[in-house]
Chains A and B, each alone.
Chain A
């Protein structure tokens, strides 16, 4: 079984700053996917970014990028030029290749962007 650990329950930064959210995971699998999901107060789960474990290149989506260190089993999310709308819970998640076992989530990080 895999585990996902997010060690930062809450983070607060000023608007326009850069913030990094940490995530580590444990698995015996070699092929898998990692995700960051955003959950605003509306509770809708929004996919922020996806990383395929067999790809060495770090995924990037506009202001969001990841630092994927496979050997260290680390998967951090960097948000550049943070905006007020980035305020939300952020969950790191693991999925085996194929996805038949669903997602395993970390406990989440509550990110607050201050004006």
Chain B
């Protein structure tokens, strides 16, 4: 079955960096794009970044442009999100989500979420 399994929770100090991973299985890894979405405590969903695994093309939200890097290792079927210069505003649950092959590329499968806590 299709699964996206994310790395465990992380705690960082302000100014540090964090890398979250998302290992995909059960489908053709290069056929679907992957996005990262986060949710701060008690808040809504915020789209952060997207990558076409097939082409390597990447897109980022203005909020994390220049601080975030999305990458993929096709040999292991794993997607990564690195976020640098962390502040308390980056405290959130981070989700990876697979894009369906339909016309509007909705997110049909999600990882279980990784809590990133930024605190001094």
Task: Answer yes or no: do A and B interact.
Answer: no
